[in-house]
Amino acid sequence: MTQPHPAVANGSFDVERVRADFPALSLEVNGHPLTYLDNAASAQKPRQVIDRMVTAYEREYSNVHRGLHYLANAATEAFEHARETARAFLNAGSIDEIIFTRSGTGAINTVASSLGQSIEAGDEIVLSIMEHHSNIVPWHFLRERKGAVIKWAPVREDGSFDLDAFKALLGPRTKIVAITHMSNVLGTVTPIKEIAAAAHAVGAKVVVDGCQAIVHMPVDVRDLDVDFYAVTGHKLYAPTGIGLLYGRKELLEAMPPYEGGGEMIREVTEETVTYGVPPHRFEAGTPPIVQAIGLGAAMEYVQSIGRERIAAHEHDLSAYAHERLRALNSLRIIGTAADKGAIISFEMKGAHPHDVATIIDRYGVAVRAGTHCAQPLLARYGATATCRASFALYNTRADVDRLFDALVKAQDLFA
């Protein structure tokens, strides 16, 4: 049982106490306190995660599984504890449904490469126009190599997902529906339960990119009734080089492996090979051991604060940020759907997003500028690039104010 964080011990949310856990947030940039608003790209790491990984390297490190010595047992226990932590975090039915991958991208590629072996020419894959390239390119591989047809579900002008238009795309040739749970550009939260029900009604498998949503809201894969759910660690206050794939056990058991090597086999002879059972069938080679332990620690950290409490804090920040930034007439905010996540993408009139980001960095404000690996979505809004401010559990209204003040300076410069 995860113990409550001291910041929430009295039922409130002491964001300054939370911030003290993150060493990077004490930095100064160009003589200003760091205002880190690039969380949708990658979040900072709390001391609890860093210390847990140091312990793993210093006192528990060995390769996992099959070893019979003390360190092998210690490392395996910590690694598999992280798997159980992830299972509980997603409310999966079994640890056999949790596959550790190198990233969210690795998770989606695992599904696409494995399910893709049964795709035939003319089979249809439905994506949304909001997808990150990680949930586009693997399906384009199947279009190029297998003759699959990709269909695109639209969003409305405010960025909300058009469920009726999505349903109209489904048919007897629909084999896979791959949809983000939260857009990394718009912050739009998609109605995954309704999407899954409609997809299952035509016999399609449902693959969800949860890399943003898992950070900002509680996720219950059984309640959502999805077939696969992809997660990355580095946005969830965990290290880089680790992600996971949730998959229904019966589907994983029927799927061919994605990679070959050690760990994923049962027996190898000169003539034959037989494969292990999930999750190990999909974890070829030495896994990211310490990174997985770090992911487990990050999930425990988030649980100690409470995901509902984090969501409420970020919702307040998002509302405040939208209110403040709307006062800048030079800004065009892209994505204003109701109940969106704490992500704001915007353009400044007369200025390239890269220039805006460079100027506000002089004042210690870190945002992302570019396409955000979502070129089809930006094309839908007639943009080639945007700035993106994205918020995390450690951000404050003061961060929003510093963003606003820095944008005013940029606006004055480019006017």
Query: Which listed residue (95, 137, 251, 373) is catalytic?
Result: 373
Specify whether 387 is catalytic: no
**Three-state SS sequence of the chain:** CCCCCHHHCCCCCCHHHHHCCCHHHHCEECCEECEECECCCCCCCCHHHHHHHHHHHHHCCCCCCCCCCHHHHHHHHHHHHHHHHHHHHHCCCCHHHEEEECCHHHHHHHHHHHHHHHCCCCCEEEEECCCCHHHCHHHHHHHHHHCCEEEEECECCCCCECHHHHHHHCCCCEEEEEEECECCCCCCECCHHHHHHHHHHCCCEEEEECCCHHHHCCCCHHHHCCCEEEEECHHHCCCCCCEEEEECHHHHHHCCCCCCCCCCEEEECCCCEEECCCCHHHCCCCCCHHHHHHHHHHHHHHHHHCHHHHHHHHHHHHHHHHHHHCCCCCEEEECCCCCCCCEEEEEECCECHHHHHHHHHCCCEECEEECCCCHHHHHHCCCCCEEEEECCCCCCHHHHHHHHHHHHHHHHHHC
Catalytic residue numbers, as ranges: 373
